[in-house]
Amino acid sequence: EKQLKPFDYIGGSEVIEQLVDTFYGNVKQHPDLYPIFPDDLTETARKQKQFLTQFLGGPPLYTEEHGHPMLRARHLPFPITPTRAEAWLDCMSRAMDEVGLEGPAREDFFRRLTLAAHHMVNTTDE
């Protein structure tokens, strides 16, 4: 049980915080994304930090406060097109570059996020 988790591997809560803040900075400026997000992303970022912490094997912060993630269901109120999934992944990839996350840990993390993002698609492009 002392095995290193992806969460520890990428640098723990400090790196998650930097990554998520940088990511939402990118989202705010993305023409395909900002229209479907709230203007104030403070609470969104707080939940995303909790979620990604547990996604990477860290403490189950999201579930402790909000219950089962059910992320696809929680995204149904928002039109997630294939274009928006790619935009989300692009904002994340750039955020990873910006915080200097690289190597196999980044690649595994990004691969899992790619699957999750595609799973979130709930409507077609016009």
Residues within the interface to ligand HEM (CB under 6 A): 33, 36-38, 43-44, 47-48, 51, 66, 71, 74-75, 78, 80, 84-85, 88, 113, 116-117, 120
Report, in Å, the least distance between residue 62 CB and ligand HEM: 6
Minimal distance, residue 104 CB to ligand HEM, in Å: 19
Alpha helices (runs of H) in the chain, residue ranges in sequence order? 6-9, 12-29, 42-55, 61-66, 71-75, 82-99, 104-120
Nearer to ligand HEM, 1 or 39 (CB): 39
For residue 27, which phi and psi values (nearest 5 degrees)?
A: -60, -45
Residue type, 54: Q
13 versus 36: smaller Cβ distance to ligand HEM: 36
Under DSSP, the state recorded for 100 is T
Toward ligand HEM, which CB reaches closer, 96 or 117? 117
